[in-house]
Amino acid sequence: MTNISNILIEKLRDATKVAVLTGAGISAESGVPTFRGKDGWWKKHRPEELATHEAFSRDPELVWEWYQYRRDLVLKIEPNPGHYALVEMEKHISEFTMITQNVDGLHRRAGSSAPIELHGNIMLTKCVSCSKDYSNKNHSKENYPDLIKIDPSNIPKCTCGGLLRPGVVWFGEMLPEKAMEDAQRASAQSEVFFSIGTSAIVYPAAYYPLSAKNNGAYLVEINIDSTPLTPDCDLFLQGKSGDIIPEIVNEVWD
Ligand code: BJW
Ligand code: ZN
């Protein structure tokens, strides 16, 4: 059992505005490798080789091999107790905002009503030149197989001639404007803010917990390891999100 402080329990019982930022760590227990962890993607591939526009221009086949591998993986896995406990939390908080850096769609599949997907969704497909959307918009798992399956050695082209690319946000690219506005507003207005399973080093996402704190929120971090954000937190709960979030929800609302 984690030592969930009485302060957090009382704050959550009274709270009407709660915001949550998640990162790859919350999906680790579903079987998705993190980026910077021991078995993370970046131990095998440098980000600048794979998650930039330059990388795609240089070697689109390599980039699509990586994304198609990850799409296939996402189809095989399921949300875990951490995702489901956040769905439960949402039912008790009148203004609950779910912000995620993850592109795996697992919050939506677990039942979160309107997750803000800051870095897009790995199942989306768009044109690299004109951004025309080639996605199947239905994110339900049943519909994933209807998505365009990309053969990396024969990448389809848009009517404008541009290659199709995954609908995610690469380094050096702007995040969707509305997602950023909504995330910033919810963070600044929150009474309790959770940073869960993120190394908290990629911006602008890493700014939201600090913005919450600067505007008076009680800042809670849930992570198996400390991060650069930990010293700024009011409460650091060390451990797996799939254990700790359900414990919090059971403690506060059972
Ligand atoms: C557990 C757990 C368990 C494990 N339970 N916990 C210098 C050069 C170039 C750019 C910049 C620069 N300085 C700043 C920038 C900006 C840049 C940036 O922030 N870089 C930093 C690295 C310094 N940001 C951007 O470029 C962003 N855009 C932008 O700023 O636009 C404005 C602009 C325009 C033009 C020019 C310049 C700026 C875009 C960022 C996009 C990030 N994209 C990626 C890939 C997305 C697509 C894909 O998935 O392929 O997003 S990178 C990758 O990192 C991915 C993630 O969403 C993101 C965050 O990673 P996350 O989720 O935190 O994962 P990890 O692995 O780092 O951490 C996992 C954590 O979980 C760990 O702490 C574990 O301990 C923990 N954990 N198991 C609980 N069971
Ligand atoms: Zn196009």
HSE, side-chain direction, 13 A CA sphere, residue 118? 24
215 and 41 Cβ atoms separated by less than 8 Å: no
- Probe ligand 1: pick from 41, 52, 70, 202, max atoms within 8 Å of CB? 202
Q: Whose atoms come closest to the Cα of 125: which ligand?
A: 2
Which pLDDT value is given to residue 40? 64
Ligand of minimum distance to the alpha carbon of 131: 2
Q: Is the CB of 37 under 6 A from ligand 1?
A: yes
Question: Pairing relation of β-strands 192-196 and 164-168?
Answer: unpaired
pTM to 2 decimal places: 0.95
Query: Whose Cα sits closest to atom 4 in ligand 1?
Result: 25
Residue 152 Cα to ligand 2 middle (Å): 18
- Identify any residues that bridge with 237 across adjacent strands, giving them in sequence order: 222
Q: Which residue, by CA, sits nearest to atom 2 of ligand 1? A: 25
Cis geometry, peptide bond prior to residue 60 (ω within 30 degrees of 0): no
The CA 244 to ligand 1 mean position distance, Å, reads 23
Model pLDDT, residue 129? 97
| Paired tokens of 155 | 């990448």
Instruction: Give me the pLDDT at residue 148, please.
Output: 72
Collect all residues with Cβ–Cβ distance below 8 Å to 213 and sequence separation of at least 6. 193, 219, 232, 233, 234
Tokens 């949300």 belong to residue: 79
pLDDT of residue 36: 82
Task: Tell me what pLDDT residue 140 has.
Answer: 62
- Verify whether residue 45 is a known catalytic residue: no
Q: What is the mean pLDDT of the chain?
A: 92
What is the 202 CA–ligand 1 centroid distance (Å)? 4
pLDDT of residue 142: 64
Please identify every stretch of the chain with a pLDDT value under 50, giving residue numbers as ranges: none
> Does any ligand 1 atom lie closer than 6 A to the CB of residue 28?
yes
105 lines ligand 1 (CB under 6 A): no
